[in-house]
Amino acid sequence: MSYALVHYPNINTEDINQIRHKYDPQVDLIEPHITLVFPIVESINKNNLILHIDSILSKCKIFPICLKGLQKSWDEYMFLMVEEGKVDMVKLHNELYTGILAEYIRENLPFVPHLTLGKFIKDTEKFLQVLEEVQHFDLNYRCFVDKVHLINIVDEQRSIIWTQEFILRN
Protein backbone atom coordinates (compact mmCIF):
# COMPACT_ATOMS: atom_id res chain seq x y z
CA MET A 1 0.00 0.00 0.00
CA SER A 2 1.07 3.56 -0.59
CA TYR A 3 -0.14 7.14 -0.17
CA ALA A 4 -0.37 9.89 -2.78
CA LEU A 5 -1.76 13.43 -2.73
CA VAL A 6 -3.75 14.49 -5.78
CA HIS A 7 -5.96 17.28 -7.07
CA TYR A 8 -9.04 16.32 -9.07
CA PRO A 9 -9.70 19.33 -11.35
CA ASN A 10 -13.32 20.49 -11.34
CA ILE A 11 -13.69 20.35 -15.13
CA ASN A 12 -15.69 18.46 -17.74
CA THR A 13 -13.55 15.33 -18.16
CA GLU A 14 -15.53 13.71 -21.00
CA ASP A 15 -12.86 14.28 -23.68
CA ILE A 16 -10.03 13.50 -21.27
CA ASN A 17 -11.65 10.22 -20.27
CA GLN A 18 -12.26 9.33 -23.91
CA ILE A 19 -8.51 9.63 -24.50
CA ARG A 20 -7.56 7.93 -21.23
CA HIS A 21 -9.80 4.91 -21.94
CA LYS A 22 -7.73 4.27 -25.04
CA TYR A 23 -4.24 5.05 -23.74
CA ASP A 24 -3.99 5.26 -19.92
CA PRO A 25 -3.54 1.95 -18.05
CA GLN A 26 -4.65 3.66 -14.81
CA VAL A 27 -7.98 4.90 -16.16
CA ASP A 28 -9.96 2.43 -14.03
CA LEU A 29 -7.89 3.13 -10.91
CA ILE A 30 -8.27 6.90 -10.59
CA GLU A 31 -10.16 9.82 -12.08
CA PRO A 32 -8.28 12.50 -14.06
CA HIS A 33 -5.95 14.15 -11.56
CA ILE A 34 -2.80 16.15 -10.95
CA THR A 35 -0.37 14.46 -8.56
CA LEU A 36 1.25 16.68 -5.92
CA VAL A 37 2.86 13.92 -3.83
CA PHE A 38 3.77 10.79 -5.75
CA PRO A 39 3.06 7.37 -4.21
CA ILE A 40 5.10 6.76 -1.08
CA VAL A 41 5.22 3.57 0.97
CA GLU A 42 2.70 3.20 3.74
CA SER A 43 5.41 2.78 6.40
CA ILE A 44 4.99 6.51 7.02
CA ASN A 45 2.53 7.15 9.86
CA LYS A 46 -0.86 8.17 8.42
CA ASN A 47 -1.74 10.56 11.27
CA ASN A 48 1.66 12.29 11.05
CA LEU A 49 1.25 12.56 7.28
CA ILE A 50 -2.20 14.12 7.68
CA LEU A 51 -0.83 16.61 10.24
CA HIS A 52 2.02 17.51 7.87
CA ILE A 53 -0.34 18.05 4.92
CA ASP A 54 -2.72 20.10 7.11
CA SER A 55 0.19 22.25 8.28
CA ILE A 56 1.35 23.01 4.72
CA LEU A 57 -2.14 23.56 3.31
CA SER A 58 -3.15 25.88 6.17
CA LYS A 59 -0.80 28.45 4.58
CA CYS A 60 -1.98 27.81 1.01
CA LYS A 61 -4.71 29.82 -0.68
CA ILE A 62 -6.94 28.65 -3.51
CA PHE A 63 -5.30 29.41 -6.87
CA PRO A 64 -6.35 29.20 -10.54
CA ILE A 65 -4.86 26.80 -13.07
CA CYS A 66 -5.20 26.30 -16.80
CA LEU A 67 -4.66 22.86 -18.33
CA LYS A 68 -3.50 23.30 -21.91
CA GLY A 69 -0.81 21.94 -24.19
CA LEU A 70 0.61 18.47 -24.63
CA GLN A 71 4.03 17.13 -23.75
CA LYS A 72 5.75 13.75 -23.78
CA SER A 73 7.48 12.84 -20.52
CA TRP A 74 10.91 11.26 -20.11
CA ASP A 75 9.18 7.97 -19.23
CA GLU A 76 6.87 7.82 -22.27
CA TYR A 77 3.65 9.39 -20.90
CA MET A 78 1.53 12.01 -22.68
CA PHE A 79 0.80 14.94 -20.38
CA LEU A 80 -1.86 17.63 -20.52
CA MET A 81 0.20 20.44 -19.04
CA VAL A 82 -0.62 22.87 -16.26
CA GLU A 83 0.09 26.14 -18.06
CA GLU A 84 -1.28 28.86 -15.79
CA GLY A 85 -0.73 28.09 -12.10
CA LYS A 86 2.40 26.04 -12.77
CA VAL A 87 4.51 28.16 -10.40
CA ASP A 88 1.93 27.75 -7.61
CA MET A 89 1.75 23.98 -8.19
CA VAL A 90 5.54 23.62 -8.08
CA LYS A 91 5.72 25.74 -4.92
CA LEU A 92 3.03 23.62 -3.22
CA HIS A 93 4.74 20.40 -4.34
CA ASN A 94 8.08 21.60 -2.93
CA GLU A 95 6.52 22.68 0.37
CA LEU A 96 4.79 19.30 0.76
CA TYR A 97 8.13 17.53 0.32
CA THR A 98 9.55 19.00 3.52
CA GLY A 99 9.49 17.59 7.04
CA ILE A 100 8.43 13.93 7.11
CA LEU A 101 8.25 13.83 3.30
CA ALA A 102 11.70 15.36 2.68
CA GLU A 103 13.37 11.98 2.17
CA TYR A 104 10.87 11.05 -0.58
CA ILE A 105 11.48 13.97 -2.96
CA ARG A 106 12.83 12.96 -6.35
CA GLU A 107 15.89 15.19 -6.56
CA ASN A 108 16.85 13.85 -10.00
CA LEU A 109 13.46 14.63 -11.62
CA PRO A 110 12.03 18.15 -11.77
CA PHE A 111 8.33 18.32 -10.87
CA VAL A 112 6.21 18.94 -13.98
CA PRO A 113 2.57 19.72 -13.08
CA HIS A 114 0.35 17.75 -15.44
CA LEU A 115 -2.64 15.50 -15.96
CA THR A 116 -1.71 12.15 -17.55
CA LEU A 117 -3.53 11.22 -20.76
CA GLY A 118 -1.72 8.00 -21.70
CA LYS A 119 1.39 5.83 -21.74
CA PHE A 120 3.42 4.79 -24.80
CA ILE A 121 6.16 2.22 -24.62
CA LYS A 122 9.01 3.76 -26.62
CA ASP A 123 6.88 3.81 -29.76
CA THR A 124 7.57 7.26 -31.20
CA GLU A 125 5.44 6.68 -34.30
CA LYS A 126 2.43 5.65 -32.18
CA PHE A 127 2.98 8.63 -29.91
CA LEU A 128 3.00 11.01 -32.87
CA GLN A 129 -0.22 9.45 -34.22
CA VAL A 130 -1.91 9.86 -30.86
CA LEU A 131 -0.58 13.40 -30.51
CA GLU A 132 -2.24 14.28 -33.81
CA GLU A 133 -5.46 12.56 -32.69
CA VAL A 134 -5.52 14.31 -29.31
CA GLN A 135 -4.90 17.73 -30.84
CA HIS A 136 -8.34 17.47 -32.48
CA PHE A 137 -9.85 17.80 -29.01
CA ASP A 138 -9.97 21.27 -27.52
CA LEU A 139 -8.13 20.41 -24.32
CA ASN A 140 -8.13 23.79 -22.64
CA TYR A 141 -9.54 23.91 -19.12
CA ARG A 142 -9.62 26.51 -16.40
CA CYS A 143 -10.40 25.73 -12.79
CA PHE A 144 -9.17 26.35 -9.25
CA VAL A 145 -7.02 24.24 -6.99
CA ASP A 146 -9.37 24.46 -4.02
CA LYS A 147 -8.95 21.02 -2.49
CA VAL A 148 -6.66 18.02 -2.62
CA HIS A 149 -7.10 14.38 -1.69
CA LEU A 150 -4.83 12.02 0.19
CA ILE A 151 -5.41 8.59 -1.33
CA ASN A 152 -4.37 5.11 -0.19
CA ILE A 153 -3.46 2.87 -3.11
CA VAL A 154 -3.47 -0.91 -2.58
CA ASP A 155 -2.79 -4.05 -4.60
CA GLU A 156 0.18 -2.69 -6.57
CA GLN A 157 -1.88 0.23 -7.89
CA ARG A 158 -5.04 -1.75 -8.65
CA SER A 159 -7.42 -0.03 -6.23
CA ILE A 160 -7.84 2.98 -3.98
CA ILE A 161 -9.37 2.15 -0.62
CA TRP A 162 -9.95 5.63 0.81
CA THR A 163 -9.38 9.29 0.31
CA GLN A 164 -9.23 12.20 2.69
CA GLU A 165 -10.14 15.63 1.41
CA PHE A 166 -8.22 18.77 2.38
CA ILE A 167 -9.79 22.14 1.54
CA LEU A 168 -7.57 25.12 0.79
CA ARG A 169 -8.44 28.48 2.29
CA ASN A 170 -9.87 31.48 0.42
Q: In this model, does residue 89 exceed pLDDT 90? A: yes
* pLDDT at site 156: 65
Q: Across the chain, what does the average pLDDT equal?
A: 92
Exposed / middle / buried, residue 2 (Cβ in 10 Å: 0-12, 13-18, 19+): middle
The tens digit of pLDDT for each residue in 98-151 reads: 999 999 998 898 999 999 999 987 777 888 888 888 988 989 999 999 999 999
Higher pLDDT, 72 or 95: 95
Q: In this model, does residue 86 exceed pLDDT 80? A: yes
* pLDDT at site 99: 96
Rounded CA-CA distance 35/33 in Å is 6
* pLDDT at site 19: 96
Rounded CA-CA distance 115/87 in Å is 16
* pLDDT at site 153: 87
* pLDDT at site 105: 93
User: CATH topology for 2-167?
Assistant: Cyclic Phosphodiesterase; Chain: A, (3.90.1140)
CA distance readout (Å), 114 to 82, 155, 156: 5, 25, 22
The average pLDDT across 78-104 equals 97
> Which amino acid type is present at position 2?
S
* pLDDT at site 157: 59
Portion of the chain with pLDDT greater than 90, in percent:
71
The tens digit of pLDDT for each residue in 35-64 reads: 999 999 878 899 999 999 999 999 999 999
Q: In this model, does residue 158 exceed pLDDT 80? A: no
